[in-house]
Amino acid sequence: HTDAAAAAAATGSAAAPAASSSSQGAQGGLVELSSTVQLPQQGTAPAVSMPWVGFGTYKLSNARAAVRTALRLGYRALDSAYIYGGEKTEPETGAALAAALEAGEVTREEVFVTTKHWRKFHGYEPSLACLKTSLRRLQLAQVDLWLMHWPGPAWRTMNRRKDEIAAHGPFHYAAAGHEEDALPALRAETWRAMEDALEQGLTRAIGVSNFSVRHLQALKQTARVWPPAVNQVELNPYYQQRELQAYCAEEGIVLQAYASLGGQDASKATTASLGGPLLEAPPVAAAAEAHGATAAQVLLRWALQKRIIVIPKANREARATENTRLFHFSLSEPEMAAIDSLDRGEAGRTCWRNDPLRMLQFE
């Protein structure tokens, strides 16, 4: 991998990470998928670089086929999780990668694999057991990045009644040991397991996902390894999380966005309240027309120009190809500013809509 050149600060709009000179060619944006960002040093572990553009696997209809196609198209980062697809996506991702390795289409060193710990495994021993299950499913001895997926509790049931939650509070259905006052210490134990996994070589880097500034600050108090390499969060023009962007920049944490195109969990009413689908927002459409690009490409480019890693997913090959072609144009400062103006603050959060703690307002 080639380290990417400096791009814009969190509020800026300079050019996105440049590809190495050796990656220029007739294939346009496809070859720039090899461009990487160096993650923060973690303890004595060797330095790790991660592609700016990866392939997401959340809610894929056929993860094995989609991942195999993505690798063939040139994606060199795969983002998965223990819980995705009812726990079926990890094994399918692993099978696709194994087939590509067997066919000589890629080498293990060329592919950056991320997976995520699931919240029901919070705590030291359960977390290590979770990772070992993920490694077995992925058919790997080591992942490149292991993330703590969610800072909140596991639930003792998914049949949660809204009237009960209203009467007793959002932690009413929390699993035993996952009560609100226990969570910071529980996350600290999960992180301790992740630190040990890093030292044991089970992962090359460790990070978090869906962590607020409050959660990061709490984790820092007990962490032996700091900072987390990555914080993967919902982030797009409707939900820019500017305070979190600033904090992560200050701490040296690399931000990675999911739901870059607006997410798929929002109800029609929520989407309407935000002004309509993000892909149809006037500043996005105007930039797309000006650059001969699609709205999706504009939104992904917007994130890259803010030094935010993106992991678009696609079930169809044409869409997966489209999402690689992000380097043949650059958004101007006025275009970036116009898209920035779409920020709806906390109202822009659309993911995890069935979780009573989706707004992350807990310790």
Active site amino acids: 84
Q: How far is CA 301 from CA 35, 111, 200, 275, 284, in A?
A: 14, 22, 36, 21, 11
- Is 315 exposed, middle or buried, given 0-12, 13-18 or 19+ CB atoms closer than 10 A? middle
Structure tokens belonging to residue 186: 């529980």
Number of Cβ within 10 Å of residue 94's Cβ equals 24
Separation of alpha carbons 63 and 55, rounded Å: 11
Do the bridges between strand 55-56 and strand 206-209 make them parallel or antiparallel, or are there none, so unpaired? unpaired
Do the bridges between strand 77-79 and strand 230-234 make them parallel or antiparallel, or are there none, so unpaired? unpaired
274 CB contacts (<8 Å, ≥6 apart)?
238, 266, 344, 347, 348, 350
